[in-house]
Chains A and B, each alone.
Chain A
């Protein structure tokens, strides 16, 4: 067995343990925690990239799978972790969140996400899911003097526990029918199943879709999302919207492409309607919001709807478009939340009207936010536009023209609320306040997010080449 192939997991697990010690040692300033966190993330990222080209392999008694699909998601998760590390330092200090514990939990949560994407066995997938979910519940409640944070935590815990139980029930039904928890072995056993076993199999599919539907906040299982994303500390919201949802989609893709390929056909119309309802509901919900994080939360529901289009198409082209979209969406979202974090470090920044006059007070940050909002809305030539274009093309190629049309109409709808922030920053004046200067870590995050939002829109070919080379069936 090649230990090098699971080096990223080892580094991340070690990083989680080391951070506990570093936090204990760093009594005055918490800067060492941030530095160790960022360096560890970069080391893990380097290990994933170095292993990228290796042959697909099963590791640790079939419990882990190394293939380009898993490596791609690992890269996404580690980039998210690094950006969250960089953008959160000052926020945690200002809002009295415990820095060390925050970094430990978010590191181990990322390890959980990586295990979800990197396994073809339901036992490891489920433990990864719990390793991601348990720290998320705590992270959501880490602003102890904010009642919204308490609400987010308890709501997330209750909904998360129920959805985990539903998913576990689905897994147990699948195990009962197929006699194994390995996704490939399940697929191999399906042709020999008969009668009652097939009924159990489709029931298992239903439970798995519902359980994971809650995790990715698909309509009508999205009710918890706006409250949790609004109430959590802002860096946590950014992490949950990007990493936690992407991990859910990774498992859904594995189930639909590896374990239960016929499920995608049987459920195509249901998934398509769910995608349609999710994006429409998210966009209409976002229009009505006046709190900025709540608006971004509804927009996250809408974006999950776009990604679900790729899942409903269930062709390799659709899945590749999903990967492209998940990647660029994660970076744009972290950037947008980075701006919210920046603003809330200096002034109260809960409401959309708090953005009024930002162009005067901090022109650079306002410009970054504008580009990120344009990208989230899907205006050419941004990465967000190209991602939606790929989904549109995949939907049309698969004969689902109405799904493609729904994506286009919904992005038009979403322009309304993204432009409200841009209008507030540039077109509405307020009494001149002090200029706000961004610190180095936040600047790095914003610059990286803006550059990728533009770069992957103007030159998407390299990334498209990578995602279309990924095979979804082992």
Chain B
């Protein structure tokens, strides 16, 4: 179990790095898919089967494939992005030092945690039925708000890509 956790975590981080470092949009998207698959395995090790399946089917499967189509439609040339502005000197260094400090603090905090015994987690945890019941009872209000967030996104997209008003 622990080995699976470490390997999946490493794959997820490696995928994330690929997204940031890669210069070709297609490579970025493929790296993100790799990262998502790593995440899905992490969810599995946490007994969250439903979330893991959703991660694969919806994110890695549907949304990222859509991304690939968009990139295929938009980028006619295969040139990688190169005309980047040079960063102000010291910015990278300062960013890395700050990120490293925060990371060390967080790692210290996580290592200081006592491993939870797993009590209070029943057998149905992570299954579709339990997930759905929770979503439509305790969290039904945020669930409905999410519907409004999606509505706003649809209206917004229509405005942004729609024709100019005469």
Hey, which bits of chain A sit against chain B, CB under 8 A?
13, 16, 20, 60-61, 63-64, 96-98, 101, 104-105, 108-109, 111, 115, 121, 123-124, 127-128, 130-131, 134-135, 137-138, 141-142, 144-145, 153, 173, 195-197, 199-200, 203, 206
Contacts and interface: CB of A to CB of B under 8 A. Distances in A.
Contact of B164 (A61, A111, A127, A145): A145
B145 A203 contact: no
Contacts of B63: none
A203 B155 CA distance: 37
Interface of B: 102, 105-106, 108-114, 137-142, 145-146, 148-149, 151-153, 155-156, 158-160, 164-165
A203 B106 contact: yes
B110 A196 contact: yes
Given A63-B139, A138-B160, A196-B113, 4 more contacts: A115-B145, A127-B142, A195-B113, A196-B110
Contact of A60 (B141, B152, B164): B141
B149 A142 contact: no
Closest 8 CB pairs of A and B: A196-B112, A199-B109, A138-B156, A60-B141, A196-B113, A63-B141, A200-B109, A195-B112
Q: Interface residues of A: mostly helix, strand, loop or mixed?
A: helix
Given A138-B159, A145-B164, A196-B108, A60 B140 contact: yes
Nearest to B113: A196
29 contacts: A60-B140, A61-B137, A61-B139, A63-B141, A105-B152, A105-B156, A108-B148, A108-B152, A123-B139, A124-B142, A124-B145, A127-B149, A131-B152, A134-B152, A134-B156, A135-B152, A135-B155, A138-B152, A138-B156, A144-B165, A173-B106, A195-B112, A196-B109, A196-B110, A196-B112, A197-B113, A199-B105, A200-B109, A203-B102
A197 to B, nearest CB: 6
Contact of B111 (A104, A111, A173, A196): A196
Contact of A101 (B138, B141, B155): B155
B116 to A, nearest CB: 9
A197 B156 CA distance: 40
B112 A199 contact: yes
A98 B164 CA distance: 9
Most chain B CB within 10 A, of A63, A137, A173, is at: A63
A203 B109 contact: yes
Contacts of B146: 127
Nearest to B108: A199
Nearest to B120: A179
B145 A127 contact: yes
A98 B159 contact: yes
A101 B159 contact: yes
A195 B108 CA distance: 10
A46 to B, nearest CB: 22
Contacts of B137: 61
Nearest to B137: A61
Contacts of A60: 140-141
B59 to A, nearest CB: 16
Given A196-B112, A203-B109, A104 B155 contact: yes
A96 B165 contact: yes
A412 to B, nearest CB: 34
A282 B164 CA distance: 35
Contacts of A16: 148, 151
B132 to A, nearest CB: 15
Contacts of B156: 105, 134-135, 137-138
Nearest to A124: B142
A153 B160 CA distance: 10
A362 B153 CA distance: 41
Nearest to B138: A61
A145 B102 CA distance: 43
A96 B112 CA distance: 58
Contacts of A145: 164
Contacts of B160: 138, 141, 153
A70 to B, nearest CB: 14
A246 B145 CA distance: 20
Contacts of A196: 108-114
B41 to A, nearest CB: 19
Given A64-B141, A131-B145, A200 B110 contact: yes
